[in-house]
Amino acid sequence: MRAFAQRWKEAVCFGCWRGTMASVVTPRRGTRPTAALVVGPVNDRAGIAAVRSLATPGLLRRLCTTANFFPGRTGQSLIESCMVIAILCLVLFGGLQVSQLYMTAEVLDHAAFCGARARAVGFNDFMVDKTIRVAAIPVVGRLVQPAYTSNPYAIIPSSPNKIGGAWTVALTNVPSSAQVQTEKAAIPLYLAAQNAGQLPGILNYELDYLDQWGQIQQTVDFENVVSRQIMESGDLVGASVDHRFPLNFPFHQAFFDGDIDSMEGKATVENHYPLYLE
């Protein structure tokens, strides 16, 4: 029995490579060997043969577990995985929030350009306001008037003729939806309205501002979601469009101070309407 005990002390469990760490197997009186501490490598084949002949399947499973290799460290991988996932989520949501802010800045610059151009060709303040609002539609929230039935799968064909057929259709055609069709029909009527009282019944949006718990703090309608300022200086017309953009992505507090980011779009064009009035 002492010979077998010596052999077990020099062997690693069956299935492990030479040079790796494994559990020491020491015999007890009247029983098969059991797992104990950690020992070094096998130097000959006799040790492996002894493990094969004497170890039971249950014993081998106990020997080849991480708990036997590294006692007291069974939860380390879980903790490390949670830390890595948290960092990845922070980077992912931060990137999505920054890309959304970049898109909003582009929309506001376009809205400012449309307002400046509307003034440069001689439109009055009421028409300039309507032009800026229509140009800022991508950032003004959800459509509430006119009502429509949402169908997010409208652009996908019912039966693509081959694998990737839906993707091919989306790339080769102009995507459309019920909201797009509704807006296309309502925008000309909105721009042609004669007074401000007609506007909410033609086209209206609502933008919700949420707190850190996801509760609605404030809801702003289409007429107040953006503010503008027109500046005329000599032969130039400048427009400035301000917008309070809500930050709703998770973990945005790691990058921004608060839940709202005040953004501004600017544009300057040459003033043309004095030429028309001469």
Domain ranges of the chain: 2-69, 77-148+178-277
Instruction: Tell whether the model's pLDDT for residue 37 goes beyond 90.
Output: no
pLDDT of 104: 92
- pLDDT bucket at 219, cuts 50 / 70 / 90: confident
- What are the tokens at 261? 């980011």
Q: Once rounded to an integer, what is the mean pLDDT over residues 98-111?
A: 92
- pLDDT bucket at 208, cuts 50 / 70 / 90: confident
Q: Once rounded to an integer, what is the mean pLDDT over residues 256-278?
A: 81
Q: For residues 62 and 83, give the distance between their C-alpha atoms in angstroms, rounded to a whole number.
A: 29
Q: For residues 131 and 189, give the distance between their C-alpha atoms in angstroms, rounded to a whole number.
A: 12
Tell me how far CA of residue 150 lies from CA of 77, 87, 153, 157, 220, in angstroms.
Answer: 45, 35, 9, 16, 22
Instruction: Please tell me the pTM assigned to this model.
Output: 0.65
DSSP 213-269: TS-EEEEEETTTSEEEEEEEETTEEEEEEEEEEE--STTGGGTSSSSEEEEEEEEEE
Instruction: Tell whether the model's pLDDT for residue 148 goes beyond 80.
Output: no
Q: Once rounded to an integer, what is the mean pLDDT over residues 46-50?
A: 58
pLDDT of 127: 93
- What are the tokens at 126? 């009421």
Q: Once rounded to an integer, what is the mean pLDDT over residues 37-52?
A: 51
Give backbone dihedrals phi and psi of 194, rounded to 5 degrees, phi first: -90, -20
